[in-house]
Chains A and B, each alone.
Chain A
Amino acid sequence: MENTKENVQKETIGIGAWIALIFLILVLSGAFRTAEGPIKVLDFTNLSGSFGKIGDTGANLIGSGGTGAKDGFMAGFNLIPPVMFFCGLLAVFEELGAFKASDVLFRPLLRPLMGIPGKCGIAFVSSFTGSDVAAVMTKDLYDAGDITDDERTIFATYQYAGSACINNTITGGAPLVAICPVALGPCIIIMFVCKLVGANIIRLVLALNKKKA
């Protein structure tokens, strides 16, 4: 059905969008976190920086040894700067076309990866950073007859685990991202892989179920 020459009217994706995507991946990968020299600015954690130490106590303004709501508030406060920075960064990369470029990148992979048509590309890419748009798009794809009921189940399963996994990791996961020795990018890749495995389990179950019927 798909061979109607995917007239996806190649939205002009300039070289800038690809460069933006590469930069986004590099910044989140953590590859330069411990790099020497100026290249270390290409790392999200380094760019987020750190609070200064107070006197020679060795502690920053969050202090140490706090408990309960007050300590929780300070811990939340500690996370606001990197989250603000990330949201700004993501908005810029989106503006530069990095998301559109990743759509082009993923489109041909969706069938092999989880057995859903390339038409799901935009919903797929947007599901990295938002749950609602992707969910609505999935329903629209089904209503328009672009995906079958089973394909919708597979795609929804993929979206359900972790939902918008990039944004959720940065915001909800912030307290652990701040201490995790594994950089943000690799963590997101791990989640992506697990989401794919889950989607393929249901893909398999659906296929077996169909055979039986």
Chain B
Amino acid sequence: MSEQKTAVPVKQKASIVDVFLKGCAKGFKVGIENITPAMILGYVLVYILRETGLMDLLGVVMSPVMGLFGLPGEAFAVLISAFFAKASGCATAASMYEAGALTLGQASMMLPACILMGTLIGHYARIVLVTGSNKKWHPLMILICLFDAALSLVIMRVILMMMGVQ
């Protein structure tokens, strides 16, 4: 009666731990190469807008449009920077929340919108052109992204209101 251990089959592929560690390392790279630079851009932008008084101007000019979504005019700066890069839109919103220009509800409300209408130029090349989709519809496709973002603002506003977040 030999006690034979059922040998655990030695997997050739990477173990789960290895997969996890590799993923984390990839995340570090993303953090250093993508997120932190975007944060610096966003924070510097907000600093410039605030110190030059441009933020106040933007607030006045854009307040009728942004008011539709329950946002102050200044929030337009968030959407503009998101249009060029999602991350800097979100960083701008976070920094404006920290500076007291947006409430927690207003800043968080823009999270899905920053993603949905974010980096539209970069992704035009990476998605719309790569798929080879019919050129006739490209302008509409861009408009739809903006529409999706507006829709998400409304949905988020309702949810945050139901949660009682100001």
Does B118 make an interface contact (CB < 8 A)? Answer: yes
Nearest chain B residue, comparing its CB with the CB of A68: B47
Interface range on chain B (Cβ under 8 Å from partner): 35 or more
Contact between chains at B39 and A205 (CB < 8 Å)? no
Interface bits A162-190 vs B (CB < 8 Å: 1, else 0): 11010011011111111111100011001
In the assembled complex, B160 has its CB within 8 A of some CB on chain A: yes
* A61 CB within 8 Å of chain B: no
- Rounded to whole angstroms, the CA-CA distance of A72 and B90 in the bound complex is 12
A171 touches B111 (CB 8 A): no
Report whether A87 and B148 are in contact in the complex, using a CB–CB cutoff of 8 Å. no
Please state if B30 and A165 are interface contacts (CB–CB under 8 Å). no
Q: What is the minimal beta-carbon distance from A199 to any residue of chain B, in angstroms?
A: 8
Query: Which residues on the A side are within 8 Å of B47 (C-beta)?
Result: 67-68
Q: State whether the Cβ of A198 lies closer than 8 Å to any Cβ in chain B.
A: yes
Interface bracket on A: 35 or more
CA distance A186 to B162 in the complex (A): 14
Whether A91 and B26, one on each chain, are in contact in the complex, defined by CB atoms closer than 8 angstroms, is: yes
What residues of B have a CB within 8 angstroms of the CB of A80 in the complex?
Answer: 27-28, 31-32, 35-36
Within 8 A of A (CB), among B73-125: 85-87, 89-91, 93-95, 97, 104-105, 107-108, 110-112, 114-120, 123-124
**Chain B 33-45 against A: per-residue CB contact (8 Å), 1 yes, 0 no?**
0111111111110
Closest Cβ neighbor of B26 among chain A residues: A87
Q: Tell me the bound Cα distance from A47 to B8 in angstroms.
A: 30
Give the top 3 A-B pairs by smallest Cβ distance, nearest first.
A72-B43, A91-B23, A76-B36
Q: Which residues of B contact A179 (CB under 8 A)?
A: 94, 97, 104, 107-108
How distant is B123 from chain A, measured CB to nearest CB, in Å? 5
Max chain B Cβ within 10 angstroms of own Cβ: one of A153, A175, A206:
A175
Interface: A109 (CB within 8 A) = no
CA distance A186 to B163 in the complex (A): 13
- For the complex, give the distance between the alpha carbons of A36 and B13 in Å: 38
